[in-house]
């Protein structure tokens, strides 16, 4: 996560392809995004960005926890534990190369196409660009936005077959950058019984390199204190939201 110029405004979006894709979707009478709610067991969805962290993975495995790893495959050697491959997803880096190239590289490394995404640096042009673009490239779940909602985007009366799963807790930057926490402290979502709570906890090495204070250990302590189950995005989808209107549970 090196600092430097941010080139997202120059990213090429295929306008006609986006329009054609939206036109291919069924019409609905929805006038706002279709929100999902969940009111059963308290769930914390753990995610990590950029690279795979063997120390975190071993700790989670030893404690029967799962998490989702958003890996930037745009360049360099990619290291990971084979046991985690089902919970590794793509970290789309708009500053490096075309999304299709990154999907191809992801597939060659992990043996399957990605279905969950988080944009690197959380760069998002606009919902009418990014959401249909991700969806037409096979992404079923996105977790780029900071917030507390789960929803299907609705654009021109078309409900996209893509679930936006916002996150509300992240590491603590000591300089201005894309990450921030909504609440004044990370205990408030637990105290408010927010469900699910989605966390973006970078690997320890990324936090050290980028001068961030990791939220990881404190979040796990709070999850235990407030009786939240910790799991990956796909475990949450497969085990809890079986009625979601996209066939994630069958993938």
29-55 pLDDT per residue, tens: 999 999 988 888 899 999 999 999 999
- Residue 182 pLDDT > 90, yes or no? no
User: What is the predicted pLDDT for the residue at 236?
Assistant: 93
Question: Residue 107 CA to chain centroid, in angstroms?
Answer: 18
Q: Which distant-in-sequence residues (6+ apart) come within 8 Å of 64 by Cβ?
A: none
* % residues pLDDT > 70 (the chain): 89
- Residue 144 pLDDT > 70, yes or no? yes
Asked whether the beta carbons of 29 and 157 are under 8 A apart, the reply is yes
- Tell whether pTM > 0.85: yes
User: What is the predicted pLDDT for the residue at 1?
Assistant: 45
Q: Where are the domains of the chain?
A: 40-250
How far, in Å, CA of 60 to CA of 1, rounded?
24
User: What is the predicted pLDDT for the residue at 11?
Assistant: 74
Domain 40-250 has CATH 3.20.20.370: yes
User: What is the predicted pLDDT for the residue at 177?
Assistant: 65
- Residue 251 pLDDT > 50, yes or no? no
- Residue 4 pLDDT > 80, yes or no? no
Asked whether the beta carbons of 147 and 168 are under 8 A apart, the reply is yes
The tens digit of pLDDT for each residue in 69-110 reads 999 999 899 999 999 999 999 999 998 889 999 999 999 999
Burial (0-12, 13-18, 19+ Cβ within 10 Å), 14: exposed
- Residue 118 pLDDT > 80, yes or no? yes
Mean pLDDT of the 172-192 span: 85
Asked whether the beta carbons of 121 and 178 are under 8 A apart, the reply is yes
């Amino acid at each position: 996560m090196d600092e430097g110029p941010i080139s997202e405004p120059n990213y090429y979006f295929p306008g006609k392809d986006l329009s054609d894709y939206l036109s291919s979707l069924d019409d609905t009478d929805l006038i706002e995004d279709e929100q999902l709610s969940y009111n059963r067991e308290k769930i914390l969805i753990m995610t990590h960005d950029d690279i795979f962290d063997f120390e975190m993975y071993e700790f989670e495995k030893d404690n029967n926890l799962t998490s989702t790893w958003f890996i930037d495959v745009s360049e360099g050697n990619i290291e990971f534990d084979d046991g985690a491959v089902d919970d590794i997803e793509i970290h789309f880096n708009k500053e490096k190369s075309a999304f299709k190239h990154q999907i191809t590289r992801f597939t060659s490394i992990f043996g399957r196409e990605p279905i969950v995404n988080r944009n690197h640096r959380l760069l998002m042009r606009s919902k009418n660009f990014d959401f249909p673009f991700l969806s037409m490239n096979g992404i079923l779940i996105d977790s780029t936005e900071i917030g507390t909602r789960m929803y299907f985007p609705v654009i021109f009366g078309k409900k996209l077959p893509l679930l936006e799963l916002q996150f509300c807790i992240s590491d603590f930057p000591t300089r201005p950058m894309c990450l921030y926490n909504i609440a004044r402290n990370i205990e408030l979502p637990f105290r408010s019984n927010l469900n699910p709570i989605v966390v973006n906890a970078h690997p320890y090495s990324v936090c050290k390199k980028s001068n961030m204070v990791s939220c990881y250990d404190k979040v796990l302590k709070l999850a235990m204190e407030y009786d939240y189950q910790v799991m990956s995005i796909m475990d949450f989808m497969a085990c809890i939201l079986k009625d979601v209107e996209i066939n994630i549970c069958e993938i």
